[in-house]
Structure formats: C-alpha cells, structure tokens
Structure 1
Amino acid sequence: MRHHFADSRFGQLHYVEEGHGEPVLLLHQTPRSSDEYRDVLPLLGSSVRAIAMDTPGFGMSAPLTGEWSVELFAQAVLDLCDALELEQVALVGHHTGGVVATEVAAAAPRRVRALVLSGMPFVDAPRRHQVATGRPPIDHVERATDGSHLQQLWDNRAGYYPADRPDLLERLVMDALRVLDRVEEGHLAVNRYRMEDRIGSVTARTLVLCGELDTFSLPDVPKILEAIPGSVAHVLPGAGVPSVDHRPDLFAEAVRQFLLAQETPSCRHGLNAVPSSPYGTEQR
C-alpha cells in the first residue's frame, strides 16, 4: 500500500491505496482510521483501485475545530475526490463511514456509481431519541492519571470484538487514542444526522452489508432496503461489528462481486457465490 496526503478545505487528508482500475473509496467507522481497511485493500486492489482515507479529525488527517457533522465529513470525501481527479467513484462505508457515504451519494449522486453500506445504522427520529435519552456513550472515557482510561477504552468495545482476536481491539484502541479528547464525537455527529430526510435521494446501485453478529446494526437492514429502491442485502456469517478487519476475506469478496456485477438483476447472481445469509440477496 502507498501512503499519500491530499490538500482539502479542512487541511491535509491522509489516504492509502493499492491496485489499479475503477476507483473504490473506503470510509471507516468511528474512531478508526484507514487502518481498518489495511487487510481489505490488498484483496480489492487485485481488481480495482482501492483507496481508504482518514476522515478529517481521525488517523493522520488534519484535526478539526468546531462541531463535527456527517455533512462536513462528506464534504471532505468530495474534496479528496477532487484532489485525486476522480469524477466518479464507488463508495464503501462501514458504520459511521456508511452514514457519510450515504450523505455523499445524496448530495452528489453523479459522483457515486455504486454504494456499499456496511453495518450502517438507520438514523431517524426514534433512534435519535433512544440514543439521546437511554444509551450510554460508546467510546467516551475520562482521562485518568493512573492510565485506567486505557482499560476503559478496551472494556467499552470488548463485547463487540471476538475474544480470540485481541489484536483487532488493540488497533481500535490505538486509533481511539489519537482522538481521545473527541473520541465520542463521531457517534454524536451520526446521531444528529437526519438520515430519513436524505437517504431517499440516493440513486446509486446499493449493497447493504452487515455481519450476522452485529446486533447494533443488523436490525436496521430492512429499513435501509426499504429506503433505497433496488438495493440488495447480504449478511456476513460469523462476523460482528468489526467485520472489515475480522473477516476481510468475506468483506472484500462481497464488495468485489457487487462492484463487478452488471447493473441489472444479474447482480443478484454475482452475490450467490458469497455464503448465504438470513437476508440472502433480498432485493427491494
């Protein structure tokens, strides 16, 4: 993989890429970075130009001042596309990255030729209320002089990660430490986003992808299918919230088959080679 920086209205944006061909831009969850896709890029790079960026404020991209928003993150995605002279891209977003990808596809439909929404929550008024009134913070910790906040960062996410893969959780904690003072703000930006007002503007051919153990987002798959006509769904067996780095083989293959399929009902055909799931290749 090659590391690069591009100028944007928000400062320098860091990105990594591998491969040649049609550009595919991958967007990470909060509080990760492009590192989330480090095992996916070589797999996708065998058939496309796979690019993973650090959202502003995360990873090695420029820090941000002021309030974060999904709309701001989407503007940065388009800035990177402009800097790389990419007139049209396929967008792949995981969790927060999926929400950002949705806004890009709604705001600039001609720039997005295909869309993969992985583990994306459906953010509407009931969910915003539920999160605002009943759900504890996902990643927030208070810095402690004895370093116990490092253990708390680990404990906050341990239940969502496979017990036999501590290396995956280590990677998340390393990314979280880069943005420790604002580690929860990406989640807050997602919860402020009015997805129900924007998702209907998505016209790109769409795959809704989710790990079968991702109890956070899996219940929202039918809502997303309903909101994006013609979208298809696939559930990755044995994978949860960290499906990208836990099962990069399954993730990359599902994305690759969808992107290479023709824009006809035969796209359902392409997904049949991926292991079946509760949603199979449901099409709406």
Structure 2
Amino acid sequence: MQAGYVDGPWGQVHYRTSGASGPWVVLFHESPLSSVVWEKVMNHLGDEVRVLAFDTPGYGASAPPPGPATEIPEYAAVLAAATEALGATDVVFCGLHTGASLAIEAARVFTAGCRGVVLSGVALYDDEERAEHLSSWAPDVVKDLDGSQFEWALARYRRIWPGLDEEMLHLAVLEALRVLPRYHWGYRAAFRHDPAEPLASLDVPVLLLDAEFDLLADKDEKALALAKDARLVVLPGLHGQPHLRAPQDYAAHLAAFVREVSASDVGASDVGASDVGACEVVR
C-alpha cells in the first residue's frame, strides 16, 4: 500500500493506493473520517484489483473545500477529477454513508468509464428526517482547555457505533478530532443532498452491500427499488461499519462484483454474491 497527493481546485487531495493490476476500484469513506478506514479491506483485496481510496476534501489529509456550503456534487466532481488524473479508467466507485452519495455523484460525472457502483448505507431520507439530521446530528463543537471535545468524541462513537472495539473507537475519535472545526461540513452536505434521483439515473450495475443493523439499513429497500439494475447483499449481525467489522467478507463481495462487471457488460442481476460467511442476499 502506498499514499500520495493529487492536485485539485481546492488544494491537494490525499489518497491511498494498492494493487498491481486488474480493474480499478475507487473507495469513498464516511464523514468525518478518512481513507484509513479502508486499509483492512484494501489488504484483503490483494493484487487482483487496483484500488484508490481518497480522503474526502476537508477530511484526513486532503485540503478543505472553500467553505461549509459546499455540496455533495461539488465534492464528487473534485474526487472524480482526481481519479481521472491518477489514470484510473472503467472504475467501480464504492462508498459508505456520505461516501455512498459521493460514489453515486462521481459515477455520473466521471468521463473515463464507470463499470458499476457499490453502496453501503444510502442516505435516502424524507424531508422530515433530513431536517432533523441537519438540526441535531452534527452540532458545532469547540475546542477548550477542559477537554470537552475529547469527551464529546468518545461519547459520540460509543453511541452511534454499538459494540465497537478499542481499535475502532481510537480510530474514529482521532479522525474526528483532527478535523474538528469542519467535521460537520461533509455531514451537513450529505443531509442537504437527496441521492434518490441521481441513484435512479445510473445506467450501471449497483451492488448494495450493507450491515444488517446499519443506521441506514432501513433505506436499502428504497435504494433497491430506485436503482435500475441492482441487488442487495446484507452482512448479518453487524451493527454498521462492515468495512471495519468484517473487512474480509466485505472485500470478497466487492471483488466478486468488480470481477463480473469488469469482465463484460452484464447487469447486476447476473452478478452473484461471493460465497463467504453466512451472508443473506435479498433481491
């Protein structure tokens, strides 16, 4: 695995990359973390695919956008351009939560060929849910000498990531705190953005690959109905974060999908789930 930077309109975009040959996969993370969350999945993908995992602008080591009013299509356009600048073609875009919205929008504007999209947790909120999340999910947090920001971050991830282990807690808290003044920018952009029409407009196969008890698992059936050519694979028993809790299974399903859509122009209905674990497949 290697890391690097590519120039963008807002400054440099940081990425991790792995794989020596094969089709391209581009990974987008959830807010407010970074591409580090994909490292275990990338390790399990090995050399059979070439992977790019980006830090969303403003998160990780990527330069931030101009301000908090930046919208998901703007983020996605920068990431699509970075993908093309690194020479990737005929890619599969894959994203989780905010990253899922980014993957959908990047697939729509990428000019070097998109073979498919893999989505984990699509934010298909109704208007009431969207307003509620905008008002309460990602409040302003300030730094102080009492360390209240550290207590906030610990409490937050213990609440929203049930059953997390010490490694997950450490990773999430550090990544959130390193971008604290703008940790909510990506969240609020995702809550303002409605991915329904963009998802419905995609003309490539879609794999919905989700944890059974993910915070957005109740949106999977709606996503399945909206996408033209899609299937749903549920990793049972997981309380979200399938890329961190079951990276080997996640990578196996992702790799199987990538192999199939990269080999021919088959639709997602012809793409079978890989035979790993006790995964439940819902059509």
TM-score norm. by structure 1 comes to 0.90
**In the TM superposition, what are the counterparts of 1:249-260 in structure 2 within 5 Å?**
249-260=248-259
The structural deviation recorded for 1:90 is 0.7
Asked if 1:275 is matched to 2:278, the reply is yes
Asked if 1:227 is matched to 2:229, the reply is no
The structural deviation recorded for 1:160 is 3.2
1:152: which partner in 2?
152
- Pick closer, same or farther for the CA change 1:164–1:31 going to 2, 3 Å: closer
**In the TM superposition, what are the counterparts of 1:2-21 in structure 2 within 5 Å?**
2-20=2-20, 21=22
1:184: which partner in 2?
184
Contact 1:28-1:95 within 8 A present in 2 as well: yes
| Equivalent residue for 1:73, pick from 56, 72, 75 | 75
Matched residue SS, 1:7: strand
Q: What residue identity is the alignment partner of 1:146?
A: D
Matched residue SS, 1:183: helix
**In the TM superposition, what are the counterparts of 1:73-152 in structure 2 within 5 Å?**
73-108=75-110, 111-132=113-134, 136-138=136-138, 140-152=140-152
Structure 1: tracts of 5 or more residues without a match: none
Amino-acid identity (%): 28
Matched residue SS, 1:159: helix
The structural deviation recorded for 1:211 is 0.6
* Separation in structure 2 between the aligned mates of residue 206 and residue 30 of structure 1, nearest angstrom: 22
Q: What residue identity is the alignment partner of 1:267?
A: V
The structural deviation recorded for 1:162 is 4.8
Contact 1:41-1:51 within 8 A present in 2 as well: no
The structural deviation recorded for 1:105 is 2.0
- Map Cα deviations across residues 82-122 of structure 1 (whole Å, 9 max, x no partner): 21122321111011100111111233476321100012221
Asked if 1:29 is matched to 2:30, the reply is yes
* Separation in structure 1 between the aligned mates of residue 39 and residue 191 of structure 2, nearest angstrom: 27
- Pick closer, same or farther for the CA change 1:205–1:13 going to 2, 3 Å: same
**In the TM superposition, what are the counterparts of 1:229-244 in structure 2 within 5 Å?**
229-244=228-243
The structural deviation recorded for 1:29 is 0.3
Structure 2: tracts of 5 or more residues without a match: none
- Map Cα deviations across residues 179-223 of structure 1 (whole Å, 9 max, x no partner): 101111211100111323322211111101111121x10000000
* Separation in structure 1 between the aligned mates of residue 192 and residue 99 of structure 2, nearest angstrom: 15
The structural deviation recorded for 1:140 is 4.6
1:43: which partner in 2?
44
* Separation in structure 2 between the aligned mates of residue 195 and residue 24 of structure 1, nearest angstrom: 21
* Separation in structure 1 between the aligned mates of residue 260 and residue 282 of structure 2, nearest angstrom: 13
Matched residue SS, 2:161: coil
Q: 153-162 vs 104-113, which deviates more?
A: 104-113
Contact 2:81-2:110 within 8 A present in 1 as well: no
The structural deviation recorded for 1:274 is 5.2
Contact 1:9-1:79 within 8 A present in 2 as well: no
Aligned residues: 276
Contact 1:92-1:116 within 8 A present in 2 as well: yes
- Pick closer, same or farther for the CA change 1:162–1:168 going to 2, 3 Å: same
- Pick closer, same or farther for the CA change 1:140–1:36 going to 2, 3 Å: farther
The structural deviation recorded for 1:39 is 0.7
Contact 1:160-1:241 within 8 A present in 2 as well: no
* Separation in structure 1 between the aligned mates of residue 84 and residue 149 of structure 2, nearest angstrom: 39
